[in-house]
Structures are given as structure tokens and as C-alpha cells.
Structure 1
Amino acid sequence: MQHDCKTIRHLLCAGAALGIAGPANAAFIDDSKAAVELRNFYMNRDFRGSESTQAKAEEWAQGFILKFESGYTEGPVGFGVDALGLLGVKLDSSQDRSGTGILQRDSSNQPQDDYGTAGLTAKAKMSNTTLHVGTLQPIIPVVMRNDSRLLPNIYRGAWLQSKEVEGLTLDLGMLDRTRYRDSSDYEEMVVFNSGARNIDLGNTTSSDEFVFAGGRYQFSPELTGSYYYGGLDGIYDQHNVNLIHVLPIGDNQSFKSDLRYVRSTDDGGSNVDNNAFGALFTYKIGGHGFTGGYQKMSGDTGFAYISGGDNSLINLLQINDFGNEDEKSWQVRYDYDFAAMGIPGLSLMTRYVTGDNVNVVGRSGEGKEWERDTDIAYVVQSGPLKNLGLKVRNATVRSNFGSDLDETRLILSYTMALW
């Protein structure tokens, strides 16, 4: 079906004038803030002797992420502007080791020496309602930016958010382009379709219109629920429901339940048809966190979402999301915050997910896979190196229908406020 986006398009046109409307004043300047993040990223992915001609992908790069946010001008409607600058610089790579997703490549897969982009966002605020037009980095259930590499992916569009009612957040917006995490260019949006998702897109392989709408409501301090709609024009429609409950059960103890259901159907020539159910339960005591989860795919295809971003599946891990057609997967996870031992800033996460019952077209028997992840992170809490962070991420993947992978990422980051 064709989405009726006249209202959102009108917001886009109106928002184009925000940057020149109204004089700059004290609030606009005094409430502004700027920061730069320096991110040094090394990644090694070993393909474990797969049939691919590339034995491994290994790259090292330096990233610069500059963010500026102005305040709002005074008056019934306040105006402002945000800016984002992204730059990635190659430190080590080669044509035969490229493809980690941290460096841009040319048509011959040669990694470029540097790449980047800049984005501006005009914004307006009236009461507790804001409108942003331009560069966006949404993190809502139906569309999520990905920030797992050197630079994040970003989107272009308009986003209206209202918090007029206490405890209720409403969102409405439209996106027309995305910029991948390893690219300088804006492109039309496509559906992630690797693995055994078995999605047939027909004649419509990309779209310049993604519409989202929905809201999140906090019923009580312990219970939060949300519903969101997301539609990639001509490809799929999606309805996302989430319910989170946190039960305090004693001193430094809690039990969290996270239930998610997503219904995806085709919107035109594709065959998208998927039900995704996920349940995640976490028991915390002191610095320990113990998690168990179950995720199930059903329908004629796997899970659909915009390529280059993240999704809301509970088993979205470092490499896989276990969203293939008919896949069932189980998760066990352990977290520890070393602040409980007097070492604030140090944390550990390890998890294991196994999936089976995958419908792999063209072969007999079910598809099976598993992934094991371990993260160790430390952020300096005080002194001249405050906010310096070091993270080591390791993942192992084994599959009878996809690639076997061993992967390590080393990330050194430092965020410095400019004012």
C-alpha cells in the first residue's frame, strides 16, 4: 500500500526554514554543548578456512565523532540547530584484508585512506514537543542506528516527538535516506537479507520512504509498555509491541521480564511474512546479572529490518541476530559489574546463543548455528584520563549453513567536552 505522508512532508518543508527563523539569543548559546569522541578501532575476523577466497578481514582505523547541540531561542516556539561531523582515517588495511565495516572501500574493494560526512539538523520546540529535520540517529524499536563500528550509521528525515503527558512519549516521523557506517554517501534504504531469511523483494529492491509512528508509556515505576509501527514503502509493514517489568525483590536484587512481539508483512511486491517472539528474563543480585532468553521466528520468511541499522530482536548479538526463517534460539548470559568489588568502571559480559530449526532453501535437514560473545570493558572514572574507555570484544560463530567465524575487536575511546 502507499503510505499517506502528507503531514510529515509538510513538517519537512516547514522545518527547512528553522535554521534562519528567529534571532540567536542567550538561551540558544548558553544551553549549547559540543563534544568530540576519539575512537581507535581494530578488528580481526577469521573466516576459519571457508570456501571464500578471503581468509580473514583485518583493519585498524581512527575515528573522530564531533557533536554540537545548540539551545533553543526564547519564545513560545524555540528554534535551534545540531551538527554532526564524522571522519574515519585508515591506519592499517589492504585489499585482501578489507571488509570489516570500519573503512570505506572503492569499487575494487580497495580501502580508502579516509572517509566521512557532516550533517545538520534543524530543530524546533514548543512546550514538551520537539521537531527535528535533517540528520537523525533514532533508537526506537522499528528503526535503530548502529554504532558497533568506527562510525555510526545515520539517517535523513523528520522526527516529531511529544512528551506532553507525564510518562508518555509519542513519536512520528519519516526517513528517506541512510548513510552506512562505512560510507560517505546517502543511499535509499534496503532490507537486510543475508543468511537464511529467504526474503524475495520482487521488483522493489530499495525505498526512499520509511514511516514510523508509536509510543512508549510508563504505567508505573516497574512497568513500561510500547507499540510502534514502521513501514518501508513498497517492501514491508511492521508492528512492534514490547512490555518490560522490573520487580524489586530485596536489597540489591531485582527480576526483569522483557517480552517482545513483532509482526511483519509485505507492502507491495515482496514476500515478507514473519512473526518474531522474544522473552528475556534477568535476575540481578549485587554486581551479578543472570539472563535467560527464548526467541522464535515463524511465517514464510525471516525477520525484516533496514540494512545497516540494528533491530529489536532479543538475540541480536555481536555478529548474528538469529532471525532466519523458522529459527528458534535460546540465550544464556552473565554480566558482572566490578564496582561491587570496589573497581568502578570495569565490567564483564559473556553470553551464548544457540539456534536451530532454520529453513535453508535447497538443502535437506534443519539449519543450526551458535554464537558465543565475551566483552570486557573499562572506563577511567577520575583523573586526567577520565572518560578514557577500553573495550575488548570477542565472538565465535559456528553454523552448518553459514560461515564459521572467529572475531576480535579492540576499541579505545575518549570523549572530551569542548564546552
Structure 2
Amino acid sequence: MRHDRKIICHLLCSGAALTIAGPSSAAFLEDSKASIELRNFYMNRDFRQSGASQSKADEWAQGFIMKIESGYTDGPIGFGVDALGLLGVKLDSSPDRSGTGILQKNSSNQPSDDYGTAGLTAKAKLSSTTLHVGTLQPIIPVVMRNDSRLLPNVYRGAWLQSKEVDGLTLDLGMLDRTSYRDSSDYEEMTVFNGGARNIQLGNTKTSDEFLFAGGKYQFSPELTGSYYYGGLDGIYDQHNMQLVHVMPIGDNQSFKTDLRYVRSTDDGGSNVDNNAFGALFTYKIGGHGFTGGYQKMSGDTGFAYVSGGDNMLINLLQINDFGNEDEKSWQVRYDYDFAAMGVPGLSLMTRYVSGDNVNLAVGGEGEEWERDTDIAYVVQNGLLKNFGMKVRNATVRSNFGADLNETRLILSYTLPLW
């Protein structure tokens, strides 16, 4: 596997030479675009278990997410540059109510008045192949940014993507740092080890090298398959496979099957050993969506992924992902799009997931459940077009983790600058 890492690193380093500045052109400016997203975020997490060290976490903040994307210069190889700016501003918090993940804490463990980060990304394009070097926000099965709070987390590295073959997308990349969603700094990466995952690390606690490679192919309009490798050097290796089939049934009806399997093993510095299987089945008719799912963990540890990001487990919810050692969990979910009733932009989602059979390090069997409800509305017309409002509510109960009730209120508006 380390030989494969060297090959990937060599390919990326060779490709990075494409980012040497090329001649300017009108397309570089004419195809550029910029926007700023204003995100107002309130979050209340009420801890319900007896003996909790903190009764609640309750914070309110304003976020600013600025994106600038250039076009490409003319010529066989086009060059460009993107910029990202993230800023979070405290509106209400206190030390006894902090810890929601929407605000950074300073060196005195106090909520910061503001925090943020910025990054540049050089890019090059040849035919339908692009290379990005710098600040990245990947959303692929083995490494995914997390955008569930005030600001998203970001990564630093190089990402080569090719779409030369119709229906086929190939990805190759290397990351060396991440900036967490409530941080202004770039740090080395580590594996998430919350809950009862029972992952043990040796001398290698963090890593400055995450490699990923793989692809997605659309076999037909109804069937898509993918395979991706991801490896956090010295900690774990992972192989991710997914197959999605959408079967049209009739007018405004469909049945979707989503099958996922992930094999994770150690890479010399941990005890990671996990098989994760997930299956989701969704029936849609009109504005209604009915989903049932099953997820099973097996092996000596729970599911492994880069801390601070998201993952591809089917039972990744508002709070939990049910990826603990030996955990078995099932899901029921209902969605409704009110456009079917003549109210476009309004949507409802509610789901329930129950997990058991968790192998606890202290002995015994762990059980947990989570219930989520989202109500969202996006203004469709007028001066406030695309202004979004979302209320998210979650309830969690567990015999090995925190019992909590949580509510999030999110207001967002994206303003195009040019």
C-alpha cells in the first residue's frame, strides 16, 4: 500500500506543475464569478442525562462565506485561481454555554468574538481534466467536508479530476492539512474516535498525508457505481464501494436502491478493523418519499474517517452516525416536498434511527436512538429570492453516551457579487 502511495504522490506532484501561471485572457475575467453567503446560526443543545457536566450549550453567531472563482485562460491548458474567505462573528455566548461547534474557543477556553480563515486555490484545465492545488472542499465517499455548522471545514492539498470518458469521473488527490469548522488554524489530520468506536492509536496520533483515488461510472441512466480508496498515512486504509439504482415505476413514481460497503484496516499505527454495510430503499410518489434502511458494523473497531469531516454511512444523522463497534441500526424516514401542493420551496423531513449491539469497552451492550425533524423554506421570487430558513430538531437517547435534545435555526442568503 505504501508503494501505491508513492505512485499517487508522484502523479500529483507531476500534475502540480500545470499550475505555473499562463497568459491572461478575457475568459479569465469574463467567466469569473463571486458570491457571499450570509449565514445566521442559532443552536441550543440541552443535555438531559443526570450528572452532566454542562446543562446546555447555547450559542448564536453570524457567518460570512465569500467565494471567488475565476475563469480559465485561453490555450490548450487553461489556468485560473479561486479564493475562499470564511468569517464567524459571535452574537451571543458565554463560557458556561459554549461548545456547540459554531464558535471557536480562544486560549483561555472562552468563546471567541470572531474567527475565520482564508485560502487560495490554483487551478489548471486540460480538455475535461482539472487540477486544483490549495484550499479544497471535497465531497467524495472517502473524504467529505462538513457543512453542518456556521462555517464548513476545509482541507489543503491537491486534487486531480478527469471526466474525459462520458459517464466516468476519476479522482486522485492528496491532502496534508485540515481547518476545522470552529477553527482559524490548519492542522494535521486524525481519525474520529467518538462514541464507542474503540479505535486505539499507537505513536502516530496525527498524519499530514491523506491520499484518495477512485471513480464513479454511470452504467445507464438508472444505474451508477463507484469505488474509492482513501488512506490516512500511518493510521488507516479504506476501500469504499457504492451501487445506486433508480427504477422509474410510473408517472411521478420511482424506487431507489442504495447499497454501500466500506472496508477499513489499520496502516501500521492503529487497530482499525471495520466492515460497514448499509442499504437504503426509497419509494417516491408525488411529493412523498418513504425510506427504510439498515446499517451493520463488524470487526474489531467502529467505522474510521477523518475527524472534522463527514462520512458516507447511511445512518449519518444530525448528531450520530451509528458507526460504533459491532453496532446494528435501522432507519425509517419520511420526506415531503410541498411543491406538490403548490408551495414550492417548502419541504419536510423526519426520520428515526435505532441502534443496538454496540460493543462497549467497559463491558455490556450499548443501545441508542435518534429522531430528527427538518422544516425548510427557500423564497422562490422577489427581492428575497433564494433566502433560506431551516429549523432542525433532534432528540438522542443512549445508555453509553449523552442524552440530549437539540434545536438549530439557520437563516441563509447568498448574494451574487458579479
- Shorter-chain TM-score: which interval? over 0.9
8 Å CA contact 1:2–1:234 kept in 2: the answer is no
In the aligned structure 1, how far is the partner of 2:93 from the partner of 2:296?
39
2:2 partner SS: coil
Q: Given that residues 347 and 378 in structure 1 are in contact (C-alpha distance below 8 angstroms), is that contact kept between their aligned partners in structure 2?
A: yes
Distance 1:80 1:341 in 2: 44
* 2:124 counterpart residue number: 124
Q: Which amino acid aligns with 1:232?
A: L
1:22-70: CA deviation from partner (whole Å, max 9, x where unpaired): 2221111111111110000000001114423211101000000000111
User: Within the alignment, does 1:368 sit opposite 2:367 as a pair?
Assistant: yes
Structure 2 CA distance for partners of 1:7 and 1:143, relative to 1, 3 Å:
closer
The offset of 1:21, in angstroms, is 1.4
Instruction: Give runs of aligned pairs for residues 9-408 of structure 1, distance below 5 A.
Output: 11-12=12-13, 15=16, 18=19, 21-364=21-364, 366-408=365-407
Measured in 2, the distance between the counterparts of 1:346 and 1:405 equals 27
Q: Offset at 1:5?
A: 3.2
Assess if the C-alpha contact under 8 Å between 1:172 and 1:214 holds in 2.
yes
Following TM superposition, by how much is the alpha carbon of 1:17 offset from its aligned partner in structure 2, in angstroms? 7.3
**Residues 8 and 172 in structure 2, CA contact (< 8 A), matched pair in contact too:** no
Equivalent residue, structure 1, for 2:417: 418
Please list every run of 5 or more consecutive structure 1 residues that lacks an aligned counterpart in the other structure.
none
Q: 1:5 is matched with which residue? A: 6
One-letter amino acid matched to 2:310: D
Residue 214 to residue 67, structure 1, CA distance change in 2 (3 Å): same
- Report Cα offsets for 1:376-417 as digits up to 9, x if no partner: 000000000001000000000000111101000000000011
Distance in 1 (CA, whole Å) between partners of 2:65 and 2:17 is 24
Preserved contact between residue 16 and residue 133 of structure 1 (Cα < 8 Å): no
- What SS class does the counterpart of residue 5 from structure 1 fall into? helix
Q: Shift of residue 151 of structure 1? A: 0.2
Q: Is the 8 A contact 2:54 2:96 kept in 1?
A: yes
Aligned-residue offset at 1:6? 5.4
2:6 partner letter: C
Instruction: Please tell me the residue identity of whatever aligns with 2:368.
Output: E
- Does the 8 A contact of 2:230 with 2:238 survive in 1? yes
Partners of 1:249 and 1:108 in 2: how far apart?
59
Aligned CA distance change for structure 1 residues 50 and 77 (closer, same or farther; 3 Å): farther
Shift of 1:362: 1.1
Q: What is the aligned residue count?
A: 417
Task: Tell me, in whole angstroms, the C-alpha distance in 1 between the residues paired with 2:71 and 2:212.
Answer: 26
Normalised by the length of structure 1, the TM-score is 0.98
Q: Percent identity?
A: 83
Q: What amino acid is the match of 2:372?
A: D
Q: Displacement of 1:335 after TM fit?
A: 0.1
Give how far 1:7 is off. Answer: 4.9
Equivalent-residue separation in structure 2 for 1:68 and 1:170 (angstroms)? 25
Conserved in 1, the CA contact under 8 Å of 2:18 and 2:124?
A: no
Contact 2:246-2:254 within 8 A present in 1 as well? yes
| 8 Å contact from structure 2 (residues 227, 240) kept in 1 | yes
CA contact (8 A) 1:12 1:133 kept: no
Asked whether the 8 Å contact 2:146–2:153 carries over to 1, the reply is yes
Does the CA-based 8 Å contact 1:15-1:122 persist in structure 2? no
Shift of 1:201: 0.9
